[in-house]
């Protein structure tokens, strides 16, 4: 009888701990900055394991990495060097000229950092490679004093 009572308490405690962990993860995923940091960690871990697998299967000269190009335009007629496009946690380009064009690989996390600009800003995806499925040409983003996660680059699968 004592054995079943202890077993019952063990399972109840286990269920409560799992429930608390699930709720904590859900709350954490609602926060954009925490989500982007987790996504950067996920991408870096994913890239590490993919690089290891690729190095084992292919010779270094045979490695072909699919890339794409994305152009993001600032719709206002401002020159904003304090507004940055962040790729995988690193600032890669600013909007001093009004638009940015960068090369991306699958799994790259793109963020627009407008936290230093006091006005709402509008951005448009100008040109985009045909193999990128995450965004589309003409897609518009409105950002006001925040870091806006645009998303993770995904390519169409080759048949």
What is the DSSP secondary-structure string of 58-119?
S-GGG----EEEEEEEESSS--EEEEEEEETTEEEEEETTSEEEEEEETT-EEEEE-TT-SS
Q: Which residue has the tokens 């690089």?
A: 51
Query: Where in the chain are the domains?
Result: 2-57, 60-152
pLDDT the model gives residue 52? 52
**Mean of all residue pLDDT scores within the chain:** 83
Q: Which two tokens stand for residue 30?
A: 């609602």
Over range 88-112, report the average pLDDT: 90
pLDDT the model gives residue 38? 74
Query: Cα separations (Å) of 151 from 48, 54, 159?
Result: 20, 25, 24
Query: pLDDT tens for residues 128-151?
Result: 988 888 888 899 989 888 888 888
Quick one: pLDDT band at residue 53, thresholds 50, 70, 90? very low
Geometric angle at alpha carbon 38, from 36 and 44, rounded to 5°: 100
Q: Which two tokens stand for residue 142?
A: 């409105």
pLDDT the model gives residue 159? 56
In sequence order, the β-bridge partners of residue 90 are 87
Quick one: pLDDT band at residue 117, thresholds 50, 70, 90? confident
């Amino acid at each position: 009888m004592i054995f079943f009572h202890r077993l019952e308490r063990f399972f109840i405690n286990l269920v409560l701990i799992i429930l608390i962990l699930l709720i904590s993860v859900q709350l954490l995923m609602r926060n954009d900055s925490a989500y982007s940091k987790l996504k950067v960690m996920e991408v870096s871990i994913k890239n590490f394991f993919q690089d290891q697998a690729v190095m084992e299967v292919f010779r270094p000269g045979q490695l072909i990495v699919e890339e794409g190009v994305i152009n993001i335009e600032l719709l206002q007629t401002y020159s904003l060097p304090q507004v940055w496009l962040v790729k995988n946690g690193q600032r890669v380009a600013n909007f001093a000229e009004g638009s940015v064009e960068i090369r991306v690989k699958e799994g790259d996390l793109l963020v627009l950092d407008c936290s230093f600009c006091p006005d709402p800003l509008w951005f448009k995806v100008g040109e985009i490679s045909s193999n990128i499925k995450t965004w589309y040409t003409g897609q518009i983003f409105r950002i006001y004093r925040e870091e806006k996660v645009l998303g993770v680059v995904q390519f169409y699968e080759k048949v």
